[in-house]
Amino acid sequence: MIVRVWQGWTTPENADAYEALLRAEVFPGIAAKGLAGYRGIELLRRPAGEEVEFVTIMRFDDWTAVKRFAGGDHEVAYVPAAARVVLKRYDARSRHYEQRAAIEY
């Protein structure tokens, strides 16, 4: 399993609008692509001083699935134009990790 992690920050005033955009448009749009090997996305949110930080965590079966989603330069962040409008700043590149264990209690 490959885990793709990305961070973005917005103002407290734009945080709810950004989260709503992710839930209503961005995440369903990714799912609608029907990409083989895409296993889902998680959203994390926290206040961070004068900003609100968001983290997305995507899961893929393997590197081939990541590249199907992201293209040849698979580290380039996927930030749709509508998201760029409400974000204050964001990572230009995503980080990828090989999931080595998953333990649930």
Kindly state whether residue 75 falls inside one of the protein's structural domains: yes
Kindly state whether residue 57 falls inside one of the protein's structural domains: yes
Kindly state whether residue 103 falls inside one of the protein's structural domains: no
The predicted-structure confidence for 43-83, as pLDDT tens digits, reads as follows: 999 999 999 999 999 999 999 999 999 988 999 999 999 99
Kindly state whether residue 25 falls inside one of the protein's structural domains: yes
Phi-psi region of 71 (alpha: psi -120 to 50; beta: other; left: phi over 0): left
Closest CA to 96 of 53, 69, 45: 69
Query: What whole-number distance in Å separates Cα of residue 74 and Cα of residue 93?
Result: 9
pTM over 0.85, yes/no: yes
Beta bridge partners of 7: 55
Kindly state whether residue 104 falls inside one of the protein's structural domains: no
Domain count, the chain: 1
CATH number assigned to the domain comprising residue 10: 3.30.70.100
Please give the residue range of the domain that contains residue 8.
2-98
